[in-house]
Structure 1
């Protein structure tokens, strides 16, 4: 059962609209961003070029989002120091390092060395995002559940909003994630992932869309898959864009919203239109016009058809309200040791 505290609730309020929708612009990409900027020669993209691109992204998209998702290496502190992130816009910071360890059929996410839950809190973030690679039948599933549980517990101890993102992968050798074979199982994998992970202490679930529009065109079947995801998730949930084209993501946002999603955390689907432009000034223009327009249109869809996060979180909100008495502060934050 979902549980909220004062600090977690404040973080959730900071990354959502006043009416309760989570409409985040995701820009926490790292290693993959080098490949996107220079597919022919990713190693030629230096660190400052990554920072520059992220700062342009943040300036263009933050005004049209309820919050942003940044990474600790090239985005979060830089966005604050340069003023690229407006002070009134909430932000999440990624906890994991880019990539994964383990084999293709037993992928494992790991926390970025030198980074921690406590440091995310200390820098003033609204919350953290932990990405895990998860398939319920993978040999690594138990270890990934343990990681989620550990991070969620650390967030509970210091009252920090915890968002978990789950990325699926095929466990059968020779099957790719983009294949029709995996597409046939994807809905079940995403739903079972929600069943496994959302009871472990997270506050928001960042889920994959439980379908693949390349192979499944029936909107009713896709809607039912999203309804299954909604029933499976014990916390408010949003969908991620997985790099699909904007037009497909807009369809996914509407279907997910109709099933109970509280928004999205949108990355490449919104801003990859600007990647081909190498001139920085012209690229900024594309980000501020096309990418920002994409985000604004998605927000209209999510708010028209979706469900505010506080509806799914109502029992937790009511329980928190009952705890707030004139002497609530006396026992607040008495269990803050990190383990």
Structure 2
């Protein structure tokens, strides 16, 4: 579709790679700021922080992901050549019933997000492939509705998939690392189906890099390098030709860059990144303690260096969308 194709071009860099910055965090960002501030964190603080990141760092990004709750001033402050994704989901998930059920921002729709200037709609869902179908079918129908909305508005649909296990609380631990490849790959296989009308999958890497032999202490390793590489290759097959980009999941900038090199060497055909905390998380403390000026200075120096280093890695590792005849 012409609208979606043009929008994907606006969201990609000159190499046809999505090199996007993510700062749609809401609840988690408020906690990060509160941890470093000596005063109550307000909605204005969230909006101002996002605006600083957008003003100072979008000149080096192909797109920025924001939320319409606190991020619209930041959207207006972004570089003219930077595309815009807007989040459609409420932050967090419903705790009143099992299954981490998602919900939409009640005053928004795909139409309204497009009217607000979005080049794409992003929706995030937590998904455990091994939960009962009574739970997962609700989520599947939910995603189908959003996909249909985006088709009607001729706007790209970015689906962010967050894996978990209903019986394992710590998704960063060794126990979850052992099941993560199955969780990530199988949920990608599901949502790559044409019925969901997903244009780009935003996903985790299929392993926890901290538990690969050579990255982990020997007694902590869950996978050999060969096993981990095979999971990256299998992930690409599971995407069935649907473009997919990696999220940074809060790891350090260096670890994320190392991960992308590993993915490329393993044969992953990922099409870019939507990188959040790995890029800007170290600006939280200066902002919370000394204000926007201190955060701006960090962005102009370390923040810019983080993004430029990441862009270099992407140029060497990511597969252009154009190679899939999408732009």
TM-score (norm. length: structure 1): 0.86
Q: Could you tell me whether the CA contact under 8 Å between 2:54 and 2:75 is conserved in 1?
A: no
Match in the other structure for 2:248: 241
Q: Could you tell me whether the CA contact under 8 Å between 2:36 and 2:284 is conserved in 1?
A: no
Give yes or no for the alignment of 1:267 onto 2:276: yes
Q: Could you tell me whether the CA contact under 8 Å between 1:219 and 1:255 is conserved in 2?
A: no
DSSP-derived class of the 2:159 partner: strand
Aligned pair partner of 2:290 in 276, 279, 292: 279
Aligned pair partner of 2:153 in 158, 164, 168: 158
The offset of 1:146, in angstroms, is 1.2
* Mapped partners of 2:85, 2:169: distance in 1: 33
Match in the other structure for 2:302: 290
Aligned pair partner of 1:192 in 174, 186, 198: 186
Matches within 5 A, 1:42-57: 44-57=40-53
RMSD: 1.9
Aligned residue pairs total: 307
Structure 2: runs of 5+ lacking an equivalent: 214-223
Aligned pair partner of 2:210 in 211, 214, 222: 214
The offset of 1:145, in angstroms, is 1.3
* Mapped partners of 2:131, 2:206: distance in 1: 18
TM-score (norm. length: structure 2): 0.89
Give yes or no for the alignment of 1:142 onto 2:141: no
Q: Could you tell me whether the CA contact under 8 Å between 2:90 and 2:105 is conserved in 1?
A: yes
After the TM superposition, which parts of structure 1 deviate over 4 Å for at least 4 consecutive aligned residues? Answer: 40-43
* Mapped partners of 1:295, 1:222: distance in 2: 26
The offset of 1:40, in angstroms, is 7.0
Q: Could you tell me whether the CA contact under 8 Å between 1:105 and 1:169 is conserved in 2?
A: no
DSSP-derived class of the 1:214 partner: helix
